[in-house]
Amino acid sequence: MNRCLLAINAGSSTLKFRAFTPDGQTLLARGMVDRFGGKDAALTLADAKGQTLAERALADADHGAALAAVLNGLADQGLEARALVHRVVHGGNRFRQPVRLDDEVRAALDDYIALAPLHQPVSLEVIDAFSRIDARLPQIACFDTAFHATQPEVATRFGIARHWHDEGIRRYGFHGLSYAAIARRLPEVGLARGKVVVCHLGSGASACAIESGQSVAASTGFSAVDGLMMGTRPGYIDPEVVLYWQEHEGMGVKDVRRELYKNSGLLGVSGVSADMRELMASELPAAREAVELFCYRVAREATSLAGAMRGLDGLIFTAGIGEHSAEVRGRVLQQLAWLGFELDHVANLSHARRLTTAGSRLPAYALPTDEEGEMARQAAALL
């Protein structure tokens, strides 16, 4: 039986996992549990190249049973987990590095549920379920907020009373594991010491200003609903809109949260779908408007983040939409042409790494993110 480091990325309805060598450098297997915790849950396991190794229905399996099935499925392939590493969305001000989970750390993570009410509970439930399966198995938490701990104080503040900031109401930034993975790759494109805007564009979307490999500013703030428009989240919104909903529409906290997290963004604007591929294929004016607004917000945020760095040396697209949608990349770069980006249409359509012409004053690239790989590398260093 070969030992492995198992990276767990839990979402509300999907759990992704990847098995790495104990040093965190080599991918051994990957998989997912779709409809995680649901009555129609299903486990898929593949090798490092994506070739399917096993598929299994997990009818009526709760979270614990589904996670046990993951460990058993890997064991069937000759892989035994040496340790588990989890993506935890919020680490607050306290957790700025990966940490081995013990009773004290696990209890402290409950304090951040209020800061990430839709994401934090899922990660903690998975951690607890694995503890019940095998309490001896080491578990490590890596935090989406940690990469942004290098931001200057001015980038973390809201313009509210000082005591609120001191109590933790501040800008944190998210998608940090994705940005850390991209920061590792900046030397490949000659931007290791540069001022770079990275656009993590997917169902959840954000952008980050990275200077010399460190976070300077980010579009996301107190929560992962802030910043860019996303699949079902609005991004920036005047807080008076929320007060209007409460005062004039009689909406309670749960109603408002549902509107912000589930009914807005691409889905809300289009009335059709939260999937960029479906919107691109649609002829409906509202679908086209949703795509236009998404690209507009990305381009506008990129210029804002360049201002935070007082300069710009390059732009990176990553994540599902950023890596795979030539249309979105092209629209954004054309809106940013005034900054010095000259789009190479052929390269963009062929999904080349470099998206701009050789003569472009500023370069733009598409680089695949690797959140689970970043988690494995961080965990291996800690172990």
Residues placed in the known binding site for Mg(2+) = 9, 371
- The answer to whether the CB of 217 falls within 8 A of the CB of 308 is yes
Binding site for substrate: what residues are annotated? 87
Question: How many angstroms separate the CA atoms of 122 and 63, rounded?
Answer: 10
As annotated, the binding site for ATP includes 16, 200-204, 275-277, 320-324
Name the catalytic one among 103, 128, 144, 226: 144
Q: Give the strand pairing for 79-88 and 139-143.
A: parallel
Q: How far apart are CA 350 and CA 202, in angstroms?
A: 19
Rounded Cα distance, 373 and 25, in Å: 8
Q: Which two tokens stand for residue 41?
A: 């849950």
* Nearest-5° Cα angle at 180, 381 to 48: 70
Among residues 276, 267, 260, the alpha carbon closest in space to that of 327 is found at 276
Look-up of token digits 């931001």: 151
Q: Give the Cα separation of 238 and 63 in Å (integer).
A: 37
319 and 369 Cβ atoms separated by less than 8 Å: yes
Q: Is 80 left (phi over 0), alpha (psi -120 to 50) or beta?
A: beta
Which residues are paired to 85 by β-bridges? 7, 140
Q: What is the three-class DSSP state of 62?
A: coil
Cα 139 to Cα 158: distance, rounded to the nearest angstrom = 34
Q: Using CB atoms within 10 A of its CB, is residue 365 exposed (0-12), middle (13-18) or buried (19+)?
A: buried
76 is catalytic: no
User: Which is nearest to 224 in space by CA: 140, 329, 149, 120?
Assistant: 120
Could you give the residue numbers annotated as active site?
Answer: 144
